[in-house]
Amino acid sequence: MKTYISNLFLLLLVGSGSLIAQTAEVVIPEAEEVEETKSFTLTGYVDAYFQNVFNSDENDSHLVFPTSFTPETEGFSVGMVNLLAEKSVGKVGFVGQVGFGPRADDANGAYPNLQQLYVTYSPSDAVTFTFGQFGTFVGYEVIDAPANMNYSTSYLFSYGPFFHTGLKADFALAEGFGAMVAILNNTDSRFNEPGGFYYGAQLSTETGGLAAYLNFLYGTDVKSFDDGNDLNTFQVDLTATFEASETLTFGINASDKTQGTDGNTVQGFAGVALYSTIGLSETFDLSLRGEYFSEKSPDGISLDGRSVTALTATGNIVIGDLRIMPEVRFDLSGDLDTTYGDIINFGSESAADDSIGSFLLAAVYSF
């Protein structure tokens, strides 16, 4: 404020008359160092949906998609109201994100209102440290509905992880190339109750219309103090998008996860999802998703009913800050009559119920 008043006074003095200007040279002192830029933003969204599942089981009950956030089978439901606060001051900043509603309950575990809470420090333009709870770097889709072009979620997303708690460091290696390393608690956990740690890494590149991320995650799920046969997880994940034109975008997510002990597989999954978004007009996009997903069997055991093919078509109608999303989805598994622990089970033991289809209409308002 002092600097502002001083400069204003000098400007008025210079402009007050030609006499002073002719008889004396006005010297404007150097301005004091400008204060570091501060920024604060508060954004969020709300979402709701209607879904009607076409299939019923032998008891005339509607089947259920075994994926996240859309459990309603014959009626209306809500997602959540979500608030995201961000602030940065020079090299430091923070993010706090909370959500309220069924979607928040499903996504955020024991503390359903808390989605993200972390601080950042960037000692240089090439390095950023993040400390706290943050959304996972693994996978294509995210918890927040406005960031996804399909409203219902994929199997690869639903099998997680959703978030991490720990410390990560992002590095800008060169123009268009980056890397990340992290030490984390057990996935989707704010407290490291099993006693082991997870380690994450990412290599990324962005060039032209291509953005690709190769992710790695390794850690201990259950720590065995007696015989040393910990239950460990290793996951490798590829996510990429390619903007072919202003109206056509392609995406892919391929992931493989294995949980095992003493070198033997206990469980896990593998799958690939393909995405495309076509801009048909300034206010309407059509998004398509095709996915193949398979559960892994324990070593030495052969089990059916553990794979599924899912096809989803979603319209995105934009009306200002509101997005209307009509969606049709069809999931098929030829051997779901033999289920295993309710994994990839549409909710019926009948051999005839090996597929499920639905119509969904969602509304997502971002602010």
**Residues 25 and 104 placed together within one structural domain of the fold:** no
**Residues 132 and 30 placed together within one structural domain of the fold:** no
Residue 156 domain boundaries: 35-366
Contact 334, 354 (CB under 8 A): yes
**Residues 78 and 163 placed together within one structural domain of the fold:** yes
Number of domains in the chain: 2
**Residues 92 and 159 placed together within one structural domain of the fold:** yes
**Tens of pLDDT along 321-332?**
999 999 999 999
Q: Lowest mean pLDDT: which of 106-115, 156-165, 276-285, 340-349?
A: 340-349
**Residues 12 and 106 placed together within one structural domain of the fold:** no
DSSP string, 173-205: EETTEEEEEEEESSTT-SS-TTS--EEEEEEEE
3-state secondary structure of 105: helix
Cis peptide upstream of residue 161 (ω within 30 degrees of 0): yes
pLDDT interval class at 21 (50, 70, 90): very low
pTM metric for this prediction: 0.85
**Tens of pLDDT along 155-205?**
999 998 999 999 999 999 999 999 999 999 999 999 887 667 999 999 999
Q: Which helix (H) or strand (E) holds 34?
A: none
98: tokens are: 């909370």
3-state secondary structure of 3: helix
**Residues 88 and 204 placed together within one structural domain of the fold:** yes
**Residues 348 and 267 placed together within one structural domain of the fold:** yes
**Residues 63 and 160 placed together within one structural domain of the fold:** yes
> CA 11, 15, 21: angle at the middle one, nearest 5?
105
**Residues 26 and 41 placed together within one structural domain of the fold:** no
- CATH code where residue 135 lies: 2.40.160.10
Give me the chain's average pLDDT, please.
Answer: 86
**Residues 158 and 255 placed together within one structural domain of the fold:** yes
Q: Which of 303, 135, 160 is nearest to 233 (CA)?
A: 160
**Tens of pLDDT along 39-84?**
999 999 999 999 999 988 767 778 888 899 999 999 999 999 999 9
**Residues 128 and 12 placed together within one structural domain of the fold:** no
**Residues 221 and 142 placed together within one structural domain of the fold:** yes
pLDDT interval class at 25 (50, 70, 90): very low
Q: Which of 10, 34, 30 is nearest to 21 (CA)?
A: 10
Q: Which residues contact 145 (CB under 8 A, 6 or more apart)?
A: 45, 47, 79, 103, 151, 362, 364
118 bridge partner residues: 95, 132
3-state secondary structure of 4: helix
